[in-house]
Structure 1
């Protein structure tokens, strides 16, 4: 109860101070003049905004088909047109504050109005201009409350109180204000870092002159640099010396040495893969363990393979370094396939290669280099003469591409057009003593 009474007494004291301040303002000519100047500044800002807004809209609105950098800047500036009224009122109120302080030596009322206009500008900024969800959340829960405290003139005492409250963790010491400042600055820094990383990744990804592995390495390097700089800036803003993190860094080093060996190994393997370019995004690979698929993503720890049946297989980067890897699409190299077939023994086999090679060459994806289609005699089978045609394509004979199936269709149609028979198995049964005859004296079986 005593504590509660003390708080009640403090609250009543603040109410009394507020009443005295209000009465002082009501009977003070300086306060009335400041209030009048405040109203006059708002009305003047309203008139100026009504005249200036159409001009600003006309100057900042580019044509619909404009896409150059100046048009983008004009569209960006167009977003801030709603801030004209509170900002003009803020400027005019500042001029009025200078006048009242020079005449009456006081400007508390008009200074409050000036802060109020700034609060309204922040509110418009959060509600109408900011569209990014994370920044909108920061504005709603951090910027608006801080501006409200600033409008009431309580920001400086609040900062002083938070700065005087210290937090000690081992040999690291910082104030509550540093923590609050770190949370706010950290949120903004890492959001800006994420945005910068997305922009740099998009810019590097458009550079077709670089190898895919080099592009991926450049993107990862830019990401590490951006977030590393953000972390250093955050430590500086919070007032934490980097030397005080030596113990934490040593603990992390011990953890890497014992418990995180695999993670460190996979990370280093990923860097080696990106540097050497042995496997990169878009390559179809097959590992010793049987995993096979197209690399759709490479992270610091593992590569993600997408199989032809749509499943994703996560393969640690270390497996690409320590095991045998077959890369079917490295540097866009062509792949050779073959399609077997047979013809009847009644066929003039000297005509078959030319017919088949000509037919297979008509396929739009079959290459002339490094070698054109090549039909080879493979052997003499039980039912027919065995051939196979070899052909080269850029791609894999599976998934969206069915080269062997297309080539077999071409072979079938070419042989039919040439009148060549495709054999099927025959079986001949011989009776050495002729066919058995039925005994007429015997009854029915």
Structure 2
């Protein structure tokens, strides 16, 4: 639009406002409407002053009460700041009906009624919407819309926005449709995020296998955000049949370029259903990767090693390679510690000594089997033994249990005077020593 035309249009609105204000100031009907507005506001303040404390006493539960009814009462009590502007709006609406029946129209009181509604909208956005996202949405969208409605120019602004078109390639949108899509999309996906959080918390409280819980959580998440996307497409007026073409293109992409991603996703679903590995298990893959599973996503599984490093393993590796699960949701594991004694030792005494010593460790279990000391062979420097024992959990790289057990073996052998041999070699010199 030409700047001069824009200026002329603005001045036309100013002239109309001046004429309207002059008519209001010189009209007895306008003064009577203004008086009704003031009376309605004062009466609303009086009613609010009497009613608000009583509503607060009725609805406010004790501070230590956490029941569902108490939560509902606290939620309703949050809307108490809206009582004053809504009372003023209702009383003004009643006054407008009286003025309209007497004078045929009531522009002044109608304007005041819209102002009271705007004050209610502003109080709602400022005091009720405590969530950061909703507060931001109310501040920059709801309050401006209420202001345009109070000024009586909301319909012309909406008409102007709907007639202004924006083209993106072959697709043509109105500015109003874009704004509506942004607001609706933000609200829908915020609601989806909130619903996903609530549903996940509810599912986590249910008694079922952790893998099944993870699968249900992921399925609920995909369902919620998929529904939000479809609703957004419907609100923006986009024909959903066009998504069939997009779906075909995505299918071709999955077939050629995204095979690994699709394979990892399907493998992740299989892992969650079968439960062969879940969060908290200590696993070791055929490729040498080992660690505790701390997170399972649609694409990969995250392992944490004992030194604090994270290993990202594609889900496909859990399906196509051999996986050793040492934890299996906290089951017992058998470990062993090797040692040697001198050839001068009475080896018949060793099993009882070692088994009694290892049994003193608080982490060593007596079931499914107590510690078992076995003769493994006759080595070059001594007689080789190994003690097998069961523990709840796994050994931290031979540092958690095996180290303690070796200390127990050392002390037990020393107490019995049994020698742990040094490496020995017999050297024969042919021909004797040189002179």
TM-score by length of 2: 0.92
Do the aligned residues in 2 keep the contact of 1:353 with 1:375 (CA within 8 Å)? yes
C-alpha root-mean-square deviation of aligned residues, in Å? Answer: 2.6
Deviation per CA, 1:151-199: give whole Å up to 9, x if none: 1111122222333345566775554323222211111111010011011
Query: Which piece of structure 1 moves more, 382-391 or 291-300?
Result: 382-391
Do the aligned residues in 2 keep the contact of 1:30 with 1:106 (CA within 8 Å)? no
Match of 1:422 in 2: 420
Deviation per CA, 1:272-319: give whole Å up to 9, x if none: 221222222222222222222112111111111111111112122222
1:56 and 1:358 map into 2 onto residues whose CA distance is: 74
Q: Is residue 2:252 matched to residue 1:254?
A: yes
Match of 2:94 in 1: 95
Deviation per CA, 1:196-229: give whole Å up to 9, x if none: 101111111122x311110000000100111111
2:239 and 2:291 map into 1 onto residues whose CA distance is: 48
Q: Is residue 2:269 matched to residue 1:271?
A: yes
Do the aligned residues in 2 keep the contact of 1:172 with 1:240 (CA within 8 Å)? no
Match of 2:20 in 1: 21
Indicate how the Cα distance of structure 1 residues 46 and 76 shifts in structure 2: closer, same or farther if over 3 A, else same.
Answer: same
Matches within 5 A, 1:391-406: 391-398=389-396, 402-406=400-404
Equivalent of 1:284 in 282, 296, 303 = 282
Match of 1:319 in 2: 317
1:402 and 1:395 map into 2 onto residues whose CA distance is: 10
Match of 1:205 in 2: 204
Three-state SS of the structure 2 residue aligned to 1:340 is strand
1:299 and 1:164 map into 2 onto residues whose CA distance is: 45
Match of 1:354 in 2: 352
Q: How many residue pairs were aligned?
A: 435
Three-state SS of the structure 1 residue aligned to 2:386 is strand
1:191 and 1:163 map into 2 onto residues whose CA distance is: 26
2:70 and 2:419 map into 1 onto residues whose CA distance is: 70
Three-state SS of the structure 2 residue aligned to 1:330 is coil
2:83 and 2:200 map into 1 onto residues whose CA distance is: 36
Query: Which piece of structure 1 moves more, 395-404 or 124-133?
Result: 395-404
Deviation per CA, 1:222-266: give whole Å up to 9, x if none: 001111111122122222221133332232222222222222222
Match of 1:41 in 2: 40
Query: Which piece of structure 1 moves more, 393-402 or 209-218?
Result: 393-402
2:94 and 2:410 map into 1 onto residues whose CA distance is: 92
Three-state SS of the structure 2 residue aligned to 1:242 is coil
Matches within 5 A, 1:8-407: 8-166=7-165, 174-207=173-206, 209-398=207-396, 402-407=400-405
Three-state SS of the structure 1 residue aligned to 2:334 is strand
Three-state SS of the structure 1 residue aligned to 2:366 is coil
Three-state SS of the structure 2 residue aligned to 1:20 is helix
Query: Which piece of structure 1 moves more, 342-351 or 387-396?
Result: 342-351
Query: Which piece of structure 1 moves more, 219-228 or 4-13?
Result: 4-13
Query: Which piece of structure 1 moves more, 127-136 or 149-158?
Result: 127-136
1:364 and 1:78 map into 2 onto residues whose CA distance is: 56
1:265 and 1:404 map into 2 onto residues whose CA distance is: 40
Deviation per CA, 1:339-378: give whole Å up to 9, x if none: 1122333433223222322332233332233322111111
Three-state SS of the structure 1 residue aligned to 2:295 is strand
1:189 and 1:78 map into 2 onto residues whose CA distance is: 26
Do the aligned residues in 2 keep the contact of 1:174 with 1:240 (CA within 8 Å)? no
1:102 and 1:365 map into 2 onto residues whose CA distance is: 90
Do the aligned residues in 1 keep the contact of 2:280 with 2:329 (CA within 8 Å)? no
Three-state SS of the structure 2 residue aligned to 1:280 is coil
2:342 and 2:290 map into 1 onto residues whose CA distance is: 38
Indicate how the Cα distance of structure 1 residues 74 and 420 shifts in structure 2: closer, same or farther if over 3 A, else same.
Answer: farther
Indicate how the Cα distance of structure 1 residues 101 and 417 shifts in structure 2: closer, same or farther if over 3 A, else same.
Answer: farther
